[in-house]
Amino acid sequence: MFEELSDRMQGIVKKLRGQGKLTEKNIDESLRQVRRALLEADVNFKVARAFIESVKTKALGQGVLRNLSPGQQMIGIVNQELISLMGEEAVEIGFSETSPTVIMIVGLQGSGKTTSAAKIANYCLKKDKRPILAAADIYRPAAVKQLEILGDQLEIPVISRKKDESPEVICKGAVEYAENQEYDVVILDTAGRLHIDQEMMEELQRIQELNNPNEILLVLDGMTGQDAVNVAEIFDQNLNIDGCILSKMDGDARGGAALSLRQITDKPIKFIGLGEKLESLEVYHPERLASRILGMGDVVSLFERAKDAIDVEDARKLEAKLRKQTFDLEDFRSQLQQLEKIGSMQEIVEMMPGANKRALKGMEMDEKALIRMDAILSSMTKGERARPIVINGSRRRRIARGSGTSVQEVNQLLKQFNMMQKMMKQFNRPGALERLGQKMLPFR
């Protein structure tokens, strides 16, 4: 996400660091490159022009601090303008004071509506709400079945068609079911089309009139760039949408839709989809995304992911084991599984401040490594995980066969575990954390 734009922006700032001060000449040169970077990222040209003019005005103004380097000055100005461009602050779902809250999901076919509907349901569950799903897409083959499978995964009801009910009646029935069964949220998964047509809009308008949704969320394919902005304008004219979900952002290295949408439509982006998993939905935080674009990381989002993935009680038990130096392969497996929940290695690295994206770009991150390691650990007996010292040559061959890996991979995992145990012993020595802090100090 934003990879190409991020690379360009960071390169521009790096060039400015070698300058003595900000001047009209080096500002103009930098902003020409910024403008080119924005246009290549598929940002609307009017939005790009307004952004450049605003940055230039502030860079030449009296508000620039004299004790900062040109690179730092430009980062601060561009960062603030990016935040402003993308909407200043996060806008989440406004839940109704009287249940149920009705959320209507709309969009073109193939934009990821059905998956997004289930992701929103998962988001509601995390907010301690009781959601249900309504399968109102009766035209796309297997759309209802897909939603039912996702509903089963979340263990929530999915209300589908009875006899020859129309989509608007299906939605009305779901709302009534939620009222009777005291559910908090109804999520309406409506039908899309391959392109915008009047028949589709009229059906959506009937659903809107009959069910009076609290929120209408438009799902847009983030990979379509400016087309997404055009689609948003038409949907808003017909339905007066409350916000957008940008799906498939993990597959878009440009990010132009995210930068143009708010300025063109004046509608907030509420969520971004970053994968197929039901957990792969993030609240859209402009300040955090601006920080990622400029290479400053996103520690807050990383912390939030870790907090959701890591069980507090398990963490306490692990801490006690580390102190007693009884950390075994069972604990190691548990940590790997929790790490997998946080996200892919690529996503984690992108959120870390100061990570050298250019250096990492040439490296192939083996995202299946964690799966293979988990398979190796699962092929061990409970006794072997508790006492790795008993794993001799014949056991290693058995574990490799059982996990579909090689003996070399088993050896490598055991070596990594032994290194981790040694590191844990180092941390348990008096003053270890203080010494670590002193070593890290020059890099702060």
Residue 169 lies in a domain: yes
Q: Residue 162 has what pLDDT?
A: 84
Are 306 and 361 members of one domain? yes
Burial class (CB in 10 A: 0-12, 13-18, 19+), 95: middle
Are 250 and 350 members of one domain? no
Q: Residue 325 has what pLDDT?
A: 61
Residue 185 lies in a domain: yes
Residue 173 lies in a domain: yes
**pTM: predicted TM-score of the whole model, two decimal places:** 0.69
Q: Residue 76 has what pLDDT?
A: 79
Q: Residue 314 has what pLDDT?
A: 61
279 vs 126: CA distance, rounded Å: 10
Residue 324 lies in a domain: yes
Residue pointed to by tokens 């990383």: 302
Are 130 and 261 members of one domain? yes
Quick one: tokens of 74? 């430009």
Sheet of 281-283: strand order equals 158-159, 131-135, 185-189, 101-107, 215-221, 243-247, 269-273, 281-283
CB 286 within 8 A of CB 162: no
Are 57 and 128 members of one domain? no
For residue 180, the domain's CATH number is 3.40.50.300
Note down the domain range covering 271.
101-294
Residue 91 lies in a domain: no
Residue 55 lies in a domain: yes
Residuewise pLDDT in 10s, the chain (444 residues): 567 777 777 777 777 766 666 777 878 888 888 888 888 888 888 888 998 898 888 877 644 455 566 667 777 788 888 888 888 888 889 898 888 999 999 999 888 999 999 999 999 999 999 999 999 999 888 899 999 999 999 999 999 988 889 999 999 999 999 999 999 999 999 998 778 788 889 999 999 999 999 999 999 988 887 788 889 999 999 999 999 999 988 766 566 777 888 888 889 999 999 888 898 898 988 888 887 777 665 444 555 555 555 565 665 665 566 555 667 787 777 767 666 666 555 555 555 555 545 444 544 445 577 778 889 999 999 899 888 889 999 999 999 999 999 999 999 889 888 877 776 666 555 554 444 444 434 333
Are 316 and 387 members of one domain? yes
Q: Residue 340 has what pLDDT?
A: 64
Total of domains in the chain = 3
